[in-house]
Structure 1
């Protein structure tokens, strides 16, 4: 148990900014900085083109985590939007990719939907073990969870796996017009969506209170909006839905079967020459920007600073909704800032399609890259 506790403490207090560029080319350098509660890397290179990355903090402790990994397996992108605390998102950022690499190694590096799905299950199992070890000392770890949005690019195919309501949107060129269409690739699991509510009702036909409308917002058992996550064990196992967790999480009836799922929705998308870029973002962005507006912002401006530009556009909109100026919003400190917007993470991947293959059409492995969002907390 002591080992588990020390691991958790290291998760909670180690700084961000684990940046490793093994390509020898300085491929992650350029345009990194902080602007108040905003951290950004304006432009870097990964195996299939350029990327831009940014995160802005609103909570007292940042609950968003994100990473880009690139190597002989292709490219892995993760956006993890935590809730109830930062611990689950940090755990996923530390472990999901490692499980993915280990599992894909069993099949000589071949990536499939099953490879990614198994990595999600292994991460959920590991976090469950951690919560079990810490139950007597940190029981409220059972009430912490995270949405997970993962993209894996492997030999010109994009795999998307998602739990919760983060979103990935594709910017796709339309003919020769110079226009770019916005295509949402991920499925969202938020019970404010009628399809998700119906899915839960079908899974729990004997529970008329599986989704409850409170103050105009639908929630699972009246508590949480997302129906899939890693963590949130109080909604998945009876042994964690009891004292001494916070009473607001305790259910009147035992959890007969999991009320939330860690089974990711999977999308497989063969990349096309017309696919221009991908926007991966936590729901804090999509709360204020439509898919079309986000794609328009990226398409109409230089690649450098794209992620930061999207976040600032969302913050301008958040300020407008509260009838205040963006300059005044920027002065509001974390924690209080959460009343105006959520933590927001954005990663934009641009495609340089001519770099994907050698002249003989053999696959050209991406240069090694490992980058995590570097906002201190």
Structure 2
């Protein structure tokens, strides 16, 4: 079964490769309980094959960023939502999405409360120092309305390590920003 997400190497590597990496690694790996990840009854790995999907995209001046993320990101946010969140962060523009309640019956008082929460969140929208942290905050703390709920975020980040995996997957994100002036110059034949 091909699996393109980063991570989950214990399902993608043979036992020999896993042991070789652990044995050739720094001394900290030998004493670390978390690196002893070859499970019992692990007889015929690999169970997944890691076949990268390689595509070619010629950069254009309107291309602004590239997001590389582990499966934990893509399990919680759709790619269009990721682009919207990063784009808003980089431009400093927070486009308020229409307030939806997803088929719930909401009283006027409840709607007023939701609007007040939305207004308060807008003032905190760009508190992160980089776009990757901002995206992780959204991935971990999203509520049913697609906004960051700080109480949910706090609870998810406070879970003990042994419970955290039951509620969320590990998330690693790298965001590369492109300089549109350089990209435009290269397209016009200015490559060296």
The Cα shift of 1:362 comes to: 3.5
Match of 1:292 among 80, 87, 94: 80
1:315 is matched with which residue? 140
Matched residue SS, 1:300: helix
Q: Is the 8 A contact 2:10 2:18 kept in 1?
A: no
Matched residue SS, 2:169: coil
Gapped runs of 5+ residues in structure 1?
1-78, 89-123, 145-244, 365-377
The Cα shift of 1:315 comes to: 1.0
Distance in 2 (alpha carbons) for counterparts of 1:297 and 1:259: 34
Q: Is the 8 A contact 2:65 2:175 kept in 1?
A: yes
Distance in 1 (alpha carbons) for counterparts of 2:18 and 2:10: 16
* CA gap 1:333/1:260 in 2 versus in 1, 3 angstroms: closer
* CA gap 1:318/1:287 in 2 versus in 1, 3 angstroms: farther
CA-to-aligned-CA distance 1:307-356 (integer Å, 9 cap, x gap):
11110001112799xx9632222322323221221110111112112124
Match of 1:130 among 15, 20, 26: 20
* CA gap 1:318/1:345 in 2 versus in 1, 3 angstroms: farther
- Larger radius of gyration between Structure 1 and Structure 2: 2
The Cα shift of 1:299 comes to: 1.2
Distance in 1 (alpha carbons) for counterparts of 2:18 and 2:9: 16
The Cα shift of 1:285 comes to: 0.9
Gapped runs of 5+ residues in structure 2?
25-29, 92-128
Q: Is the 8 A contact 2:62 2:180 kept in 1?
A: no
Distance in 1 (alpha carbons) for counterparts of 2:59 and 2:132: 21
Distance in 2 (alpha carbons) for counterparts of 1:351 and 1:309: 18
Q: Is the 8 A contact 1:319 1:326 kept in 2?
A: no
The Cα shift of 1:83 comes to: 4.6
Q: Does 1:352 align with 2:140?
A: no
The Cα shift of 1:266 comes to: 1.6
* CA gap 1:276/1:328 in 2 versus in 1, 3 angstroms: same
Matched residue SS, 1:275: coil
Question: What TM-score, normalized to structure 2?
Answer: 0.52
2:43 is matched with which residue? 250
The Cα shift of 1:280 comes to: 0.9
Distance in 1 (alpha carbons) for counterparts of 2:152 and 2:47: 41
2:101 is matched with which residue? none
Match of 2:167 among 340, 344, 358: 340
CA-to-aligned-CA distance 1:22-53 (integer Å, 9 cap, x gap):
xxxxxxxxxxxxxxxxxxxxxxxxxxxxxxxx
Q: Is the 8 A contact 1:278 1:349 kept in 2?
A: yes
1:46 is matched with which residue? none
Q: Is the 8 A contact 1:279 1:347 kept in 2?
A: yes
The Cα shift of 1:259 comes to: 5.8
